[in-house]
């Protein structure tokens, strides 16, 4: 019997995707360039219809046509090399799918190359980490619609399911799936940083213990902040270090790494004039965190404000922080969805915002209760300029801005930095103002560079002799 799908690349993500497919009834051929990972997967099998191959030709010949091949290798050159090794065998109509965190421009290039040879190519954003890959991730496929249709029965089956709907939908042409995934990761960076700032406040301003903070996150996870990232934060804070018995969080070095997707999100936003200040601040917060040695040195040189110890009302301030975090999240998701909208308009991608919100409800890292409201919002107002002005969120932020303002102010006067919470407040206060001091910038540009300006009261372009 021929295999219904092939998986190349048997690291944790690839193995788990293969197991997920087999658990859903597919006959899966697997192949890895080195034998060790294939053998490790074989040892894990428990009756699943997964057949290992050690020669690429054998793997290829075992597949039913048109062949569907899922590639799960590290993004970058490895993908090109896998494609290169498959080219001699591929036939018209076959479909290659890249399920890694590839840059959407690389995906578009690979799509063009393969399409000119009649081969279908899908760039598939996959979110959910190791567990998601095994039990049901959120899946963002981009490429030709008819090519997607060939793979859709398998992709929708292995995706997370929410209220009977698969967290998988056709996203758009060429690299659209990978583009949506990188912005997902940009939102993920912002969401993580916002949570870290809420944690900082609870710890440094309210002087709560790690256990008490875990409890607060558990409580928050039962309300409108309910989300995967809040849930795992509570679990992380509960974890004790086996060596020292301390909360594990206290022995983890505070230098954050990154693999590039958040950076690509910011670069794309900057290149296209899209204001994603919160997402970009979260990236810079990671960069700044990694200057650990410099920070330790600066701690001995630079001072913060002199403060008398204060006794903040815990109950009240925990509520302020909850509000600040919720509003920060709304602003960050608003920026990510604005990035989708503006990019879609600029490049004619026709990105389905409502469906993107729907497939983010399950499986992915940024899954959150309020994505139900976001998808409902786009269903009712597909052309909405910004989530902040949707009636539900406009009402929420009207109420919660007090919490965000209090927390940011307290950070400013106490010398505690809240890069993403402050960026959220600046974004909100800038976005809600019909007039701004940008007129002064225009005047300055015209003064020193004769760059011209427009007037509020007359049409046309003007230049003033300023001196």
Catalytic residues, by residue number, are 181, 188
> Among 364, 371, 404, 420, which residue sits at the site for ligand 6PG (rule: CB under 6 A)?
364
Residue whose tokens read 């539900």: 392
Helix (H, G, I), strand (E, B) or coil at 191: helix
In the complex with ligand 6PG, which residue's Cβ is closer, 94 or 98?
98
- By CB under 6 A, residue 257 contacts ligand 6PG: yes
d(Cα 256, Cα 420) in Å, to the nearest integer? 15
**Residue numbers 428-447 binding ligand 6PG by CB under 6 A:** none
In the complex with ligand 6PG, which residue's Cβ is closer, 262 or 328?
262
In the complex with ligand 6PG, which residue's Cβ is closer, 63 or 176?
176
Number of other residues whose CB lies within 10 A of the CB of residue 301: 6
Per the DSSP assignment, residues forming a β-bridge with 141 are 124
- By CB under 6 A, residue 227 contacts ligand 6PG: no
Tell me if 20 sits within 8 A of 28, measured CB to CB.
Answer: no
Q: How far is the CB of 129 from ligand 6PG (least distance, A)?
A: 5
- E strands, 34-193, are 50-53, 68-71, 95-98, 120-127, 138-142, 161-162, 165-166
- By CB under 6 A, residue 363 contacts ligand 6PG: no
> Among 6, 14, 262, 352, which residue sits at the site for ligand 6PG (rule: CB under 6 A)?
262
> Among 32, 48, 185, 265, which residue sits at the site for ligand 6PG (rule: CB under 6 A)?
185
C-alpha closest to that of 322 among 154, 465, 199:
199
> Among 26, 106, 188, 281, which residue sits at the site for ligand 6PG (rule: CB under 6 A)?
188
**Lookup: tokens for 53:** 């191959």
Q: How far is the CB of 178 from ligand 6PG (least distance, A)?
A: 11
C-alpha closest to that of 78 among 129, 33, 108, 122:
33
| H helix or E strand, kind and range, residue 31 | strand 28-31
| DSSP annotation string for 299-340 | HTT------------HHHHHHHHHHHHHHHHHHHHHHHHHHH
- By CB under 6 A, residue 26 contacts ligand 6PG: no
Stretch that binds ligand 6PG, among 17-25, 80-88, 124-132, 369-377 (CB under 6 A): 124-132
The number of residues that bind ligand 6PG (CB under 6 A) is: 13
- By CB under 6 A, residue 261 contacts ligand 6PG: yes
Buried b or exposed e, range 21-48, using 16+ CB within 10 angstroms: bbbeebbbbbbbeeeebbeebeeeeeeb
In the complex with ligand 6PG, which residue's Cβ is closer, 53 or 189?
189
> Among 129, 238, 369, 442, which residue sits at the site for ligand 6PG (rule: CB under 6 A)?
129
Residues that bind ligand 6PG (CB under 6 A): 101, 127-129, 185, 188, 257-259, 261-262, 364-365
């Amino acid at each position: 019997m021929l295999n219904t799908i092939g998986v190349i690349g048997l690291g944790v993500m690839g193995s788990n995707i293969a197991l997920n497919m087999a658990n859903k009834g597919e006959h899966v051929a697997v192949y890895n360039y080195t034998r060790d990972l294939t053998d490790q997967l074989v040892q894990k099998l428990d009756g699943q219809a997964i057949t290992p191959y050690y020669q690429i030709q054998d793997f290829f010949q075992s597949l039913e046509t048109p062949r569907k091949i899922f590639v799960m290798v590290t993004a970058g050159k490895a993908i090109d090399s896998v494609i290169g090794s498959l080219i001699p065998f591929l036939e018209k109509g076959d479909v290659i799918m890249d399920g890694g965190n590839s840059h959407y421009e690389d995906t578009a290039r690979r799509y063009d190359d393969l399409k000119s040879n009649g081969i279908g190519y899908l760039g598939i954003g996959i979110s959910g980490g190791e567990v998601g890959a095994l039990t049901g991730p959120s899946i963002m496929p981009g490429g030709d619609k008819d090519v997607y249709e060939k793979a859709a029965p398998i992709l929708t089956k292995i995706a997370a399911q929410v209220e009977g709907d698969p967290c998988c939908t056709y996203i758009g042409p060429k690299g659209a799936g990978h583009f949506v995934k990188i912005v997902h990761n940009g939102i993920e960076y912002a969401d993580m940083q916002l949570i870290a700032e809420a944690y900082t406040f609870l710890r440094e301003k309210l002087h709560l213990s790690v256990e008490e903070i875990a409890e607060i996150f558990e409580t928050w996870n039962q309300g409108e902040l309910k989300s995967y990232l809040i849930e795992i934060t509570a679990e992380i804070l509960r974890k004790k270090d086996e060596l020292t018995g301390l909360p594990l969080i206290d022995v983890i070095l505070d230098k954050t790494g990154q693999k590039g997707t958040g950076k690509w999100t910011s670069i794309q936003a900057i290149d296209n004039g899209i204001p994603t200040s919160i997402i970009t601040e979260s990236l810079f917060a990671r960069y700044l965190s990694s200057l650990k040695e410099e920070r330790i040195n600066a701690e001995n040189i630079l001072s913060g404000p002199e403060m008398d110890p204060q006794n903040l009302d815990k109950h009240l301030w925990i509520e302020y922080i909850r509000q600040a975090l919720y509003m920060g999240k709304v602003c960050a998701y608003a920026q990510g969805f604005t990035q989708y909208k503006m990019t879609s308009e600029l490049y004619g991608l026709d990105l389905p915002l409502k469906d993107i919100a729907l497939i983010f409800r399950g499986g992915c890292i940024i899954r959150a209760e309020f994505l139900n409201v976001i998808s409902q919002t786009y269903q009712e107002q597909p052309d909405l300029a910004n989530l902040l002005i949707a009636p539900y969120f406009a009402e929420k932020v009207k109420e919660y801005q007090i919490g965000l303002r209090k927390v940011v102010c307290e950070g400013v006067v106490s010398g505690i930095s809240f890069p993403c919470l402050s960026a959220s407040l600046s974004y909100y206060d800038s976005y809600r103002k019909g007039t701004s001091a940008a007129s002064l910038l225009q005047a300055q540009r015209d003064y020193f560079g004769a760059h011209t300006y427009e007037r509020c009261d007359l049409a046309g372009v003007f230049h003033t002799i300023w001196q």
